[in-house]
Amino acid sequence: MPSPDFLPSLVGSLSVGAAGNPTVAMVEAAFRHHGLHWRYVNMEVPPAGLADAVRGARAMGFGGFNLSMPHKVAVIPLLDGLGESAALIGAVNCVVRRGEQLIGENTDGKGFLKSLQAICDPRGKNIVMFGAGGAARAVAVEVGLVGAKRITVVNRSEPRGRELVDTLRHKAKLAADLVVWRGDYALPAGTDIVINATSIGLYDAEARIELNLDSLKPNMVVADVVFSPPQTRLLRDAAARGCRTLDGLGMLVNQGVIGVQYWTGVNPDPAAMRRALEEAMGI
Ligand code: NDP
C-alpha cells in the first residue's frame, strides 16, 4: 500500500439527493478488498451546478464519476464522447477518464446483462419488458445489442413507449413492438424472459404489476430492476409458479463492478461488493 499521505485517485457520484447513497459503501469495499488507493466520494450537486462540477472533476484529475437523474442526460454535452450503448440509450450513468478525455458510458444496462447472463443467454430470446423510462432504455438496448430476438415493450404512457421502440428499431436495428399497458397483461406464448423495468415495487413489497399471473410459465426467467426490497411481489409470484428469478440488487452490484473496472482496470470481487451493499441497505 502507498503511504497514507500519498493522495488517492478519486472517483465519485454526482447526485441531486446525495444523502445515504449505499453504493458508496459498495464501491469503497471493492477498493479496500483489492488494496486500491482510490476513494469514492458522494457529492450533492444541484442541476444548475453540474457544468461546474464536471469542470472541477476534470481540473482535479478525477478518474471518473457516476451520475443519477437528472444529471444522466444533462451531462452529455459536457463530455468528450460517448460509448456505443450510452449514445443509443441517450443517458450516461458512468463517466470514465481516458487520457485527457471524459467519456460517458451507461453501466445500468450492462450491469443487468451481466446478471442475466449468469442464468440465461438472451441471444435469440423473446423478451417482454414492462416500462420505457431510463432503466428500461438501458436494459433494452443492452439485451438487444447482444442478440435478443424480439423485445416487446409494455408501457402505460404511449409516447414514451413509442420513443423507446423507435430507438430500438431505427437506431439499434432490433425487432421491437409496443403494447400500451391497460389492465392485466397476458404474456404471449413463446415469451422467454420477462423484465420489470418500471419503478413499481420500489420501497413497496406489496405493489402489484398488472400482469395475468396465469400467463407466467415455469420455463420463463423473470427479472426485476427494483433493488429495494430485492424480493418484489413480482419475483415472489414468479418463483411460486416455478420461474427462475433475478433481483435488481445483482444489477446494482454489477453496474458498480463495471464502473470499478472502467476506472481502475481491476476486475473487482462482486461478492465483497454485494456484502457491503446489503450491509449498507440493512438487508
Ligand atoms: P423512470 O421514471 O425513468 O421510468 C419509470 C417507468 O415506470 C416508466 O416506464 C413509467 O411508466 C413506469 N411506471 C411507474 N409507475 C407506474 C405505474 N403505477 N403503472 C405503470 N407504469 C408505471 O424511472 P427509471 O427508469 O430511472 O427507474 C425505474 C426503476 O429502476 C426504479 O425503481 C429504479 O430504482 C430502478 N433502477 C435500478 C437500477 C439497478 O441497478 N438495479 C439502476 C437504475 C434504476 P410511464 O412511462 O407510463 O410513466
pLDDT tens, the chain, 283 aa long: 555 567 888 898 888 865 568 899 999 999 999 999 999 999 999 999 999 999 999 999 999 999 998 999 999 999 999 999 999 999 999 999 999 999 999 999 999 999 999 999 999 999 999 999 999 999 999 999 999 999 999 999 999 999 999 999 998 899 999 999 999 999 999 999 999 999 999 999 999 999 999 999 999 999 999 999 999 999 999 999 999 999 999 999 999 999 999 999 999 999 999 999 999 999 8
Cis peptide before 229 (omega within 30 of 0): yes
Ligand 1 within 6 A of CB of 169: no
Residues of the chain with CATH 3.40.50.720: 110-246
- Best residue among 23, 156, 167 to mutate for probing ligand 1, ranked by most atoms within 8 Å of CB: 156
Residue 173 annotated to the active site: no
Give me 222's grid cell. 423473470
For the chain, where do the domains classified as CATH 3.40.50.10860 start and end? 4-105+250-281
Ligand 1 binding pocket includes 211 (Cβ within 6 Å):
no
pTM for this prediction: 0.93
- E strand map for 136-237: 150-155, 176-180, 193-196, 221-224
Contact 33, 62 (CB under 8 A): no
Distance 198 CA to ligand 1 centre (A): 3
Distances (CA, A) of 105 to 66, 85, 101, 113, 271: 10, 7, 13, 15, 23
> What does CATH list as the number for 110-246?
3.40.50.720
Give the Å distance between the CA of 199 and the centre of ligand 1: 3
In CATH terms, the fold of domain 4-105+250-281 is: Rossmann fold (3.40.50)
